Amino acid sequence: MKKVFITGLGFISSIGNSQSQVLNSLQKLRHGFEPFPGSFGDCEPAHLYGAIKDFDTRSVDPEDWTYPERYKFARMQLRTMSPHVLYASAAVQDAILDANLDATAFSNGRTGLYTASAGSPYMQHNQLSLMDKKGVMRCSPYGVVASTVGTLTFNLGASLKILGASCGMASACASSAHALGFAYDAIALGRQDRMLVVGAEDGNRESIVPFASMRALSISDDPEKASCPFDTARSGFVGTGGACALVLESEELVKQRQSNAYAQILGWGQASDGYSPAMSHPEGAGLVRSMQSALDSCGVASSEIDYVNAHATSTYVGDLSELEALKTVFGVGQLGPQISSTKALTGHALSMAGALEAGICSLSIAERMTPGSAHIKELDPAADGLNICRSTTQNEPKLALSNSSGFGGSNVSLIFKSCRA
C-alpha cells in the first residue's frame, strides 16, 4: 500500500475563507453564526445559520452573483453552477494554489476527482417554479445540470478537464468522508497518483430549514448557545454550507515535487448501523465498528490516538450515540484522547462536514494545536470519563481521528498522522 498525503487545502466556510482565517477562528473559538437574512422568509424555529462571507448567491441568475475578485469564472461556467458549485470552484482554486500546482496538473489519467454534495434544492425549486408558471421550454437548458446531485462532479470535472477517476458520493452527512476514504484507496492501491476531494453545500434556506420538521435544528437565537455539542442544553444543529477542497498525493509525488504536506492519511474505516433510516443507533454500534475498522486498517491502538474530531452535531440523540461509541472504543476513567466538535463553531455542513473536518484536522496537525469544543456550559453527564477539551490548546496531535455519520447509519472514521511523527 502506498502512503497518501494531503498537500493542498481550500476553505470557503462560515469561520473563514482561507487557512489563516480558519486557524484564527479555531484558536479563538470564534463561531460563524448570523441570523437568517430576511430573504430567507419565515424560518421559525431556525434562527441562525453559518454564513459564508464575501459571497452573495441569492439571485436566481448566477450571472448576478458576487464573489471575491481573485476568483475568475467565465459566464458560461456560471450558467451551469449552483451556489455550492461556486463555493467549491473557489475552494479548488485555493487548494491547487496551496499545493503549488496549476490546473493542468489535474488533466491526466493518473489524477481523479471525488466529490460530495446534496445537489441544490434551491436551484431545483427555482426551476420547477418557473416550469409551473411559464412551461418547461422557458426554463434554462442548464437548469438540470446546475441543480441535480451530481452537479459538483459535472462542473469540476469539465473545468479541470479531469481524465482519471471521477464520481460523487451520496451518504448524507458521511458523504465527503466517504469521498476521502475512497480517494485514499485509489492512491494507496496504485490506481491514481493524485486525487482532488471536494465537499460542498449551498447552505441556504432550501437546504437547511427542512431539517426543522425533524426537530433537528437548534431552537436558540443566541449564537453563543445555539450550537453546543455535548452540552446538556443542546437542542439541535446550526446549518451551514460552503466548500472544502483537499489535494491528496502519493508519497512518490510528494518526494518528486518536494512538497510540504499537512498530514498523512493513515487509514480509514466504515460501517453501518443497520438500525433506522434517520436515527443513530442508541449505543453507536456502527460508529464503534467504523472506528475499530479504521484503527485496524493502519495497525494503530486506540490508546495511540491523541485527538478525536467528533461528528457531534449538537442534537440530543446523535451526541449521546457518539458518546457511547467513544466510551466503547477509548474507555473511561483514564486520560484518553482529547475530544471536541468543531461544529460548535462552523455549524453542521451536512454532506460537506467530513471534508471540512478533515481539513481542520490536517490544519491542526500542521499547526501543532488541538481545537476546543466551544459553548459548553454544563457538560452532559454521559460524557463523564471522556476527555472533552473545551478550549484550544497547543498540544500537537500526532494521530487524529475524525468521525462522520449520516442518515441510514452510514459511519466513516478517518485517521490522520503528523508528518513530523
| Active-site residue list | 173, 311, 348
In Å, how far from its chain's centre is CA 418?
A: 20
Where are the alpha helices (H) located in 190-243, listed in sequence order? 205-208
Q: Checking DSSP bridges between strand 194-201 and strand 242-250, what pairing results, if any?
A: antiparallel
Where are the alpha helices (H) located in 232-378, listed in sequence order? 251-257, 285-297, 316-330, 343-346, 353-366
Helix (H) or strand (E) holding 154: helix 151-159
Record the cell numbers describing residue 27, joined without a space.
484558536
Q: Give the C-alpha separation, 48 to 33, whole Å.
A: 6
**How many residues are given for the chain?**
421
Of 373, 421, 374, give the one whose Cα is nearest residue 398.
Answer: 421
> What's the order of all strands across the beta sheet hosting 194-201?
166-169, 111-116, 194-201, 242-250, 4-12, 263-272, 410-417, 399-406, 307-309, 338-340
Q: Give the C-alpha separation, 112 to 197, whole Å.
A: 9
Is there a contact between 294 and 403 (Cβ–Cβ < 8 Å)? no
Of 383, 381, 304, give the one whose Cα is nearest residue 341.
Answer: 383
- E-assigned strand segments in 147-256: 166-169, 194-201, 242-250
- Number of H-type helices and E-type strands within the chain: 13, 12
